[in-house]
Amino acid sequence: MNTTSNLQRILNQGKFAVTAECGPPKSADPEVILKKGALLKGCVDAVNVTDNQTAIVRMSSLAACALLKSAGIEPVLQMVTRDRNRIALQSDILGASALGIHNMLCLSGDHQKFGNMKEGKNVYDLDSIQLIQTVTAMCSKGVFLGEDEKMAVPPKMFVGAAENPFADPFEFRAIRLAKKVAAGAKFIQTQCIYDIAKFKKWMKILRDMGLTEKVYILGGVTPLKGPGMAKYMKNNVAGMDIPDEVIKRMEGTPKEKWREEGIKIAVETIKKLKATQGVAGVHIMAIEWEEAVPMIMEQAGLPPRS
């Protein structure tokens, strides 16, 4: 199904796709989003907007996506099932499509324990796989969850999901990805990759299961700002796996060259991912460091986007 998504077009053409990430501000200031967008415009194929990541209250992903869209940048709407039930999720899908947002990433979301609303109630009416299935049925069949009646104008969404090849149980990760594909996911963005060997092992399982024929895999890349960030992510970010040699490499770098080295590691990772069979692109998550994306793109030999 053609969804008018540029990201879908790029991937369907077999081009190596690049997406970046943009976190909305903890304020009502649209300029923050527009500035981040300006740094990424013409540089990547689409920009993911996070949905209250780490369960901290921020400007809504939908509103920030609409701002990016108005600035001529293609957004990917991230939607977590933590905060909204099936009524709100389906309503937001209709609204997003009406606003011209045609990419969506379905996630369960970080538990509220990590955020600034620890005493809040979580929803989890649907899980990420059920959200994929719901939005897919809305788009392809024009029906709401559990209903037969067709809507007048169905939404158009290029549906994606996330997967963490480094979480446990490792053997179940590929089966779970297959479920996401069966539910309707067309592209997958992975957790940040630092352990290439483990990632390649996971990719082989995917290829053996025939999954890379059915879904586009975008490898996650996050440039490190220094050894502190690497250690923090390893120890405090759920599902993050950073091998000791990466941390040692950052530690062995003089402070003034930390960021340069972080970019270098990211570029090396992208080159290795590009050479991995079945990898359709990369998703660069430069956390509060969007300026790094054009530098990484250039050094990785990825041409500017039109």
Partner 1 sequence: MIVGERKHFIEIAEMLKGYGKVLVVGCGTCVKVCFAGGDKEVALLASQLKIAAKRKKQKLTVTEITVERQCEPEFIEELAPLAADHDVILSMACGAGVQFLAERFPDKIVLPAVNTSHLGVLEKQGVFGERCLGCGDCLIGRFGGVCPVTRCSKSLLNGPCGGSKDGKCEIDPDVKCAWQLIYDRLKTIGQLDNLKAVEQPKKWSTARDGGPRKTVLEDHTI
Residue 228 Cα distances to 16, 66, 83, 247, 248, angstroms: 32, 34, 31, 9, 11
Instruction: Lay out the site mask for partner 1 across 238-277 (x = CB under 8 A, - = otherwise).
Output: xx--------------------------------------
Please name every residue paired with 79 in a beta bridge, in sequence order, or none if there are none: 106
**Secondary structure of residue 191 in the 3-state scheme:** strand
- Nearest approach in angstroms of CB 203 to partner 1 is 17
CA–CA distance, 117 with 147 (Å, rounded to integer): 34
CA–CA distance, 282 with 296 (Å, rounded to integer): 11
Tokens 């053996």, residue located? 208
Name the region of 52 (left: φ>0; alpha: ψ -120 to 50; beta: rest).
left
Does residue 108 bind partner 1 (CB under 8 A)? Answer: yes
- Nearest approach in angstroms of CB 299 to partner 1 is 28
Instruction: Give the residue with the Cβ less far from partner 1, 167 or 196.
Output: 167
- Nearest approach in angstroms of CB 172 to partner 1 is 5
Stretch that binds partner 1, among 32-40, 67-75, 169-177, 209-217 (CB under 8 A): 169-177
Does residue 178 bind partner 1 (CB under 8 A)? Answer: yes
Stretch that binds partner 1, among 6-14, 67-75, 175-183, 298-306 (CB under 8 A): 175-183
- Nearest approach in angstroms of CB 141 to partner 1 is 15
Stretch that binds partner 1, among 37-45, 130-138, 272-280, 286-294 (CB under 8 A): 130-138
Instruction: Give the residue with the Cβ less far from partner 1, 189 or 253.
Output: 189
**Which of 133, 189, 253, 269 is the binder for partner 1 (CB under 8 A)?**
133
- Nearest approach in angstroms of CB 167 to partner 1 is 5
Determine the angle formed by the axes of helices 196-208 and 258-274, rounding to 10 degrees. 20
CA–CA distance, 26 with 115 (Å, rounded to integer): 12
Number of chain positions touching partner 1 (CB under 8 A): 37
Q: Which of residues 31-90 bind partner 1 (CB under 8 A)?
A: 82, 86
Q: What is the 3-state secondary structure (H, E, C) of 113-150?
A: HHCCCCCCCCCCCCCHHHHHHHHHHHHHCCECCCCCCE
- Nearest approach in angstroms of CB 214 to partner 1 is 15
Tokens 């990632």, residue located? 199
